[in-house]
Amino acid sequence: MASTSTPDDAHTTQEKSTGRRVSTRFIYFFGAFGGILFGYDIGVMTGALPFLQEDWDLAGNAAAIGWITSSLMLGAVLGGALSGQLSDRIGRRRAILAAAVVFALGSVLLGITPHQSIAFMVTVRVFLGLAVGAASALVPAYMSEMAPARLRGRLSGLNQTMIVSGMLLSYLMAWVLQHLPTTLAWRSMLAMAAVPAIVLFLGVLRLPESPRFLITHGRDDEAYEVLRTLRPGGAIEDEAREIKETVAAETAAGERTSWASLFQGRYRYLVIAGAGVAAFQQFQGANAIFYYIPLIVEEASGTAAQSALLWPIVQGVILVLGSLLFLAIADRFNRRALLTLGGLVMGASFLLPALIHWVAPGANPMLLVAFLSLYVAFYSFTWAPLTWVIVGEVFPLMIRGRAAGLASSLNWIGSFLVGLLFPIMTASMPQPAVFAIFGVICLLGVVFVRTRVPETRGRTLEEIEESAALRETGKESQSL
């Protein structure tokens, strides 16, 4: 199909379902805006928990604290898995709209939780987690399919900037609202997530669907219209042809997308790579810092957790600055090199406090907090954004929805376990020892990257899939 474009076409596209024209900047901004909600709901309990703990007299009840905090991630496990099937059926755009509705409704329900109703709060946070898990899978998949190969790392990294901006926003809201009456303070913090959810819904209403989804479902004309906007002056026919050839070849081979197919020959290598990176990101312990930093500072310094709300803001600022650094270097350095650098420094940041605590038990306990800040700094521009860049890049087209859902679910399983077990572990062993365990996992993540993850920078999604197929074919030939 021949395509022609006008100067206006080079900057705008018309979404047929809405009849409105939107700019590419608008597309990329709201395509990644789901990360704001994702980040806000990750970070909001950090500020709300000290007030909730006082209001409901939860001090010393490590199990209740763990379940309230981690229940969101439990729902996200299911949400991440279901979002893949849903987005493959109805499209990335409509699935994100559905997630926004759940976000808004769940946030309001949390704000009106009955007093001391732990079961109600846990149930609602599981429900809200469905949307959080869906967003964690849908946003990187959508952004990777909209972005050209040369900018894919930077634009996919925009998702991480949105996530950490949402976290910082929740920390700032906790700081602003901390002087309200205790009950009103934590309820306001939780309910405020409904505001960005409404903004997301209104923005996504005007977004076009992913061109890869459109071509896969035979909507070629719409796909070409979107591509003309996203690739002004580019060879959109070549890109569309590559997508069509991939779909046709796999359809002709009679392959059917199922959970079992994720680990069949030609897909296995890439699925293990993407899902493994997603799992390692959480088991490395980052969210233990983000969820519990006021309580960590309380134990280290002896000050009340409610007086430590400045530390989440410090961590949030580091995360945002790191995400901006990543946007500047995303497409200048190989993915594997950045993951290796980050994993090594992160592992050292967790292991050194344990070593110092063992050699000099009388050392200043706040030294741990300083090392945690170093961890956050390197995590912020390596594993935090690159996990979702790789998840968006590495999965083949025909299984991308399910595979991204699997990766998201594994990521949230790790987040759930960290959120649930960290307060229980710190109640039974010194904090430096707990973080040392995470340090070992960081180093194992480096080994995994060096042995199981392909380099994806600057390669089209189809090129990545083809090279992985050749790799698996070679391995099978060698085993015969």
Given a cut of 70, whether residue 227 has pLDDT beyond it is yes
**Which range (10-24, 228-242, 417-431) has the least confidence?**
10-24
pLDDT digits (tens, 9 = 90+) for 93-124: 889 899 999 999 999 999 999 998 999 999 99
Flag whether pLDDT at 374 surpasses 90. Answer: yes
Cross-strand pairs, 15: 20
Q: What are phi and psi of 32, to 5 degrees?
A: -100, -5
9 falls within a domain: no
Look at residue 439 and tell me if it is in a domain.
yes
Give the pLDDT score at 12. 43
- Top pLDDT among 478 and 345 is at 345
With a threshold of 0.75, does the pTM exceed it? Answer: yes
**In which band, very low, low, confident or very high, does the pLDDT at 209 lie, cut at 50, 70 and 90?**
confident
Residue 10 domain flag: no
Cβ proximity of 378 and 349 under 8 Å: yes
Main-chain phi, psi angles of 22, to 5 degrees? -135, 150
Per-residue pLDDT at 18: 40
Q: What is the pLDDT of residues 55-76, one digit of tens each?
A: 999 887 888 989 998 898 888 8
pLDDT attached to residue 8: 39
- pLDDT at position 330 is 79
Domain contains 252: yes
Q: Range of 419's domain? A: 24-479
Give the tokens for residue 286. 């980052």
411's CB contacts (< 8 A; 6+ apart) are: 80, 136, 278, 279, 281, 282, 387
Could you tell me if residue 35 is inside a domain?
Answer: yes
Query: Is 241 domain-assigned?
Result: yes
CATH code of the domain containing 427: 1.20.1250.20
Indicate whether 345 belongs to any domain.
yes
pLDDT band at 20 (very low <50, low <70, confident <90, very high): very low
**Around 333, how many Cα atoms within 13 Å sit in the side-chain half-sphere?**
17
Mean pLDDT, the chain, whole residue set: 82
Domain count within the chain = 1
More confident call, 283 vs 21: 283
What's the pLDDT score for residue 73?
A: 87
| For residue 242, pLDDT beyond 50 | yes
pLDDT band at 475 (very low <50, low <70, confident <90, very high): low
- For residue 52, the model assigns a pLDDT of 92
Split at pLDDT 50, 70, 90, the class of 319 is very high
Residue 11 maps to a domain: no
